[in-house]
Chains A and B, each alone.
Chain A
């Protein structure tokens, strides 16, 4: 297991064909819920494929965008590009927000927190389009080498919103949730 502060950023301006998909096929990135959420008494962790991750930042700021979905905490900047800043807990319905107008203040980095730049691709009019976004993460962010010996989560319907989840596992007393990045970045 490897803890990271900053991973190697994949160069920007890539074609949407994601040539780095094969860069780290045997590794995943895991990070705890920023709010310390638990599921079935187990601490909640999020799991990403390394091929989905472009950057891990210590500092960033999210500026609120009125009328955006509750799980989008605002817009953030990455290399001159504007990307949505997403709270994965909110996206999974763990902390449903009634406030559709979004947070009113600029959300800044919390001590120990991280911002993970993720990417995915979607098809639009027959063309592949690259999507990017920041996930608000707790620390530490860890790189795990597969296989990690995780088992399917015992509960049948553990989370309110399963549409945004690709998989849910139990691993060493933790609950690992793999969010569906494409759905999150598409605002779905």
Chain B
């Protein structure tokens, strides 16, 4: 019996071996909790992992999820291979876990071509339809390469990413502390300056008298 997590993306149903799913998160909650996307990376409890969108991967897009659009999407944290090489996948929704006997899982016929066969080698046959079962390792390979991830991290962000960049900066505790420190110093200096000016003004008014 295989246990598959069935989820929807690009209006289609996909299955994924449950053992490869490390976690399921609401994107909104992740961002609110400070797991700010960093370029094409998601920072989740200190672990940075690539995040991308199955819809984009299966269309002409570059594959990386737009990290700054916060919607009702869900994020699956997937282990590409036994406990490591984790990545995040943005999906529209999660249907649930399906326990399927072996005879309900069929191979995808070879006529579909190399890429579909490598990405979706198996199909879950259900009464209500067919579900492509994703190979997480191949899906991981489809996304940005580690080099691209690094360059996405260091490249300047476009205008569209400005809000996200600010959000991301604020989400990082040391920077927030530094900013708070600066603000405190500035306000102290301003206060001291004002006090000095007031004292000068008082002295000058006294000397005129």
Are A64 and B112 also in contact (CB < 8 A) when A77-B130, A80-B103, A101-B58 are?
Answer: no
- B residues near A101, Cβ cutoff 8 Å: 58-60
A162 close to chain B: CB less than 8 A: no
Q: Give the CA-CA distance A80 to B10 in the complex, in Å.
A: 25
Question: What are 21 residue pairs bridging A and B, where the CB atoms are less than 8 Å apart in the complex?
Answer: A61-B129, A63-B130, A65-B112, A65-B132, A68-B112, A68-B113, A69-B113, A72-B111, A75-B109, A75-B130, A81-B106, A84-B111, A84-B112, A101-B59, A105-B11, A106-B129, A131-B111, A132-B109, A133-B111, A186-B110, A187-B112
- A residues near B18, Cβ cutoff 8 Å: none
- B residues near A83, Cβ cutoff 8 Å: 109
Chain B window 127-140, contacts with chain A (Cβ cutoff 8 Å), 1 for yes, 0 for no: 00110100000000
Interface-located stretch among B116-124, B154-162, B170-178, B190-198:
B116-124
- B residues near A105, Cβ cutoff 8 Å: 11
- A residues near B60, Cβ cutoff 8 Å: 101
Q: Give the CA-CA distance A184 to B132 in the complex, in Å.
A: 21
B183 close to chain A: CB less than 8 A: no
Number of interface residues of A (CB under 8 A): 28
How many CB-defined contacts (below 8 Å) exist between A and B? 75
B181 close to chain A: CB less than 8 A: no
- Chain A 56-105 residues near chain B, CB threshold 8 A: 61, 63-69, 72, 75-77, 80-84, 101, 104-105
Q: How far is the CB of A97 from chain B (nearest CB, A)?
A: 14
Q: Give the CA-CA distance A67 to B118 in the complex, in Å.
A: 11
Q: Which listed residue (B109, B111, B125, B132) contacts A80, Cβ 8 A?
A: B125
Question: B111 touching A64 by the CB < 8 A rule?
Answer: no
Question: B123 touching A75 by the CB < 8 A rule?
Answer: yes
Q: Give the CA-CA distance A61 to B58 in the complex, in Å.
A: 21
Question: B58 touching A66 by the CB < 8 A rule?
Answer: yes
> With A80-B125, A187-B111 given, can you name 12 additional A-B contacts, CB distance below 8 Å?
A61-B129, A66-B58, A75-B109, A75-B112, A75-B123, A75-B130, A81-B106, A82-B109, A82-B123, A105-B11, A184-B111, A187-B112
- Chain B 97-118 residues near chain A, CB threshold 8 A: 103, 106-113, 115-116
